[in-house]
Amino acid sequence: MRRKVFVRALLTLFLTAALLFAVRFVTEKTVPAYPEALGNTLDEEKITGTYLVKTAAERDDTLTIFGSSELKTFEIPTHPANFFAGKRCGFQVNLVGRGSCQSLVHAMAVGASEESLKGKKIVLITAPQSYVEGGIAPDLFLANFSEQQMLTLLSDEDLSGETKQYLSSRVQDLIAQYNAENGTSLQTHTAAGLLSRAYAADDAAAKALLAPYAWLSKWLLDTKDLAVSARLIRAGNYTDGEAKTGPIDWEAEEAAAIETGKAQSTNNDFSMLDSYYQTYVGHRLSQMEGRDADVSYDVSPEYDDLRCLFDICKAKDIEALFVHVPVNGKWSDHTGLTPKRRQTYYENVRDLAAQYDNVTLLDLTAEENTPYFLCDTMHLGWLGWLAVDRAMEAFWNEG
């Protein structure tokens, strides 16, 4: 009787494995070709998977932009997806990010890119509001956390033991904070949760013991990512922007950006989009006066997360154009975030970026009071995106 049960269980396991391998084989053989226009979208699978980012990065004419909520400002004509439509300067942008994607999220995505970004150029954008005292909030991190990426980067020989331990410790801390705050037990028994705990503790025995579980989990997660990516490609919910041709007249582009900024920000004195001001600011203007008097970006885990991101780029021989975004100076004066505290934050980031010879710093902080540089309280606007576009074009074509 026991023998029959064992044989039945073994047969079931074999058939299940055979079915999964067949599904993976068929999916790999039938996945449609990667469409360039998918680079202009902000699909979640780019953030939490690996297939789409790696497939795009393997193309010789793709420039990947890792950013946050500023990437959603498609109504701004100088947004890179609009400005470089039709590979205007010889490359297709690939946008990766959404609100709450901070340095730690990008560090994991780049760390899980394997060979696809090695020796390539990328653009990194972080926002001032990321550098708050507590760093990324546990719920925001977990909304973007990818077990697949965690398992991939922990098996990557390009990354140092120190980097893996740092990432694992941060992940464990944030998961513990989330579980304590919500009474949950997320990631307690998953391969990513257990393996990151072993790396955080530098427990060699646990790492070895968990290796088969981690391999199988990664294989299953890779299969799921491949299937979801294939469905996304087939859905075709992406379009090419209106292609632009000919040499760029930067002075004319600047004049056009200012005129568009004026036309789209008519109901306020902060150079904010009319719609943004009306929805989020106008009716609460007096309430927001002085609200940031106690806010400081002097000390934050975000700085160490940014250092880890730069370390990963260095380990993978990635050249990064790092965009140092200013705050909206006039708005910050209204809310009480003083110029002195703003300058401390600016200098902290400058000093960190200067330590890496593979990082090109695009320091835009001197423009914090320039009208139309931002389009709201924090996001790049008409002139801001144009400055990034100009730097991207030079960065892509240099050496």
- For residue 243, the model assigns a pLDDT of 80
Cα 101 to Cα 69, 110, 276, 279, distances in angstroms: 8, 13, 21, 23
What are the phi and psi torsion angles at 6 (to 5°)?
-65, -45
pLDDT digits (tens, 9 = 90+) for 33-72: 999 999 999 999 999 999 999 999 999 999 999 999 999 9
Of the chain, the percentage scoring pLDDT greater than 90 comes to 87
Of the chain, the percentage scoring pLDDT greater than 70 comes to 96
| Per-residue confidence band for 246, with pLDDT thresholds at 50, 70 and 90 | confident
In one-letter notation, the amino acid at residue 67 is G
pLDDT digits (tens, 9 = 90+) for 127-157: 899 999 999 999 999 999 999 999 999 999 9
Pairing relationship of beta strands 319-324 and 359-363 according to DSSP bridges:
parallel
| CB distance 65 to 12 below 8 Å | no
What's the predicted TM-score (pTM) here?
0.94
**Does 379 have pLDDT greater than 80?**
yes
**Does 106 have pLDDT greater than 90?**
yes
| Per-residue confidence band for 241, with pLDDT thresholds at 50, 70 and 90 | confident
pLDDT digits (tens, 9 = 90+) for 184-237: 998 989 999 999 999 999 999 999 999 999 999 999 999 999 999 999 999 988
pLDDT digits (tens, 9 = 90+) for 19-30: 778 877 777 788
CA 315, 151, 136, 182: dihedral to nearest 10 degrees?
Answer: -170
Mean pLDDT of 249-263: 98
pLDDT digits (tens, 9 = 90+) for 314-346: 999 999 999 999 999 999 999 999 999 999 999
| Per-residue confidence band for 176, with pLDDT thresholds at 50, 70 and 90 | very high
By the 10 Å C-beta count (0-12 exposed, 13-18 middle, 19+ buried), 314 is classed as: middle
3-class DSSP state for residue 85? coil
